[in-house]
A and B are shown apart, each in its own frame.
Chain A
Amino acid sequence: MTGHTILRVVSKLLLPYVLLFALYVQFHGDYGPGGGFQAGVIFAAGFVLYGLIYGLAAVRRVAKPRAIEILIAAGVLLYAGTGIATMLMGGNFLDYGAFTPAHPEKGQHYGILVIELGVGMTVAAVMIAVYSTFAGRGRA
């Protein structure tokens, strides 16, 4: 899409706000609607928009397929790892209160932030990977 100047300029203007909004949804999920899943999808939508306008090769330059594959697994590992960390600290699996035994509610809050980050990483990476494999088919 080399000729569409308006689309190229407008999408480039929008992109930072899409990604920023995704981060807002990610880290504000404790206070408003949203969370890791929604944030991951919005974050991936930014990359999809970039891919639609600038082509798949441009997306692959920014989001290296290898890095995306690692992120897919890293999110799940971060989530499960949080559970194992709580077990090592003497609590039950995913009982975040064990992080701060004196104030369990603070540990709960931190725990939720971390596992939501894990969800967000996996969802965003899966969506980007699915999009780029679908869009890359038939072009090779």
Chain B
Amino acid sequence: MSSTVDLEVQTVTALLLTLLCVTALAVVRMRNLWAAVMLMGIYSFLGASWMLLLDAPDVAFTEAAVGAGISTILALATLALTTTRSKQPARSQAGPLAIVTVTGAVLMYGTVDMPRFGDPEAPASTYPHPSYVERTEHDIHIPNVVTAVLGSYRGYDTLGETVVIFTAGISVLLLLQGSRRRTRDEGGGESP
């Protein structure tokens, strides 16, 4: 029974990863940037589906909302300000292609040493001690261990992440909105 389930999961995983590769290649070949942005949204949705297969619904959620939703909107907003056709590259792309190929090969070589997915002997499963999973119910009384780890056991890290988002937001406001206010003060022609 479990081997049939495994086979099904593996088939869907293979399908999703193939589609991911196809979408990525299509984005690279695409000269129409509107279509490229849409394909990147599809890429994010495929990634989210794959993360769901890996039993990571929290991450899949974030990928679907941020990668496919907000990023697509921001990319479209950028296209509205610039142009929707990418220029033909002026120089030969052999050099960049070689660098990307070598980097990809090195990354794949790195995965050879990694433990199999779901291996109970893997370092991620043995350290830190699995007691987080066992203790959450008693310590915090909530069933979602991910929330318990993010919010309580690793609450300090999550505070740091929130500060990162805060900093990013403030930076965008300062960079983009600040310049607009300055032009208004200088009597720039802003209509009400």
A binding-site residues for B, Cβ under 8 Å: 25, 29-35, 37-38, 41-42, 44-45, 48, 52, 69, 72-73, 75-76, 79-80, 83, 93-94, 96, 104-106, 108-109, 111-112, 115-116, 118-119, 122-123, 125-127, 129-131, 133-138, 140
Contacts and interface: CB of A to CB of B under 8 A. Distances in A.
B163 interface: yes
Interface stretch (B38-46, B63-71, B110-118): B63-71
A72 B169 contact: yes
B141 A126 contact: no
The range of chain B's interface size is: 35 or more
Interface string B152-183: 10011011001101101110110011001001
B162 A41 contact: no
Interface string B65-85: 110011001100110110000
A34 to B, nearest CB: 6
A112 B142 contact: yes
A35 B58 CA distance: 8
Per DSSP, chain B at the interface is helix
Contacts of A75: 162, 166
Contacts of A44: 70
Given A34-B61, A126-B166, A108 B139 contact: yes
Contacts of A140: 180, 183, 190-191
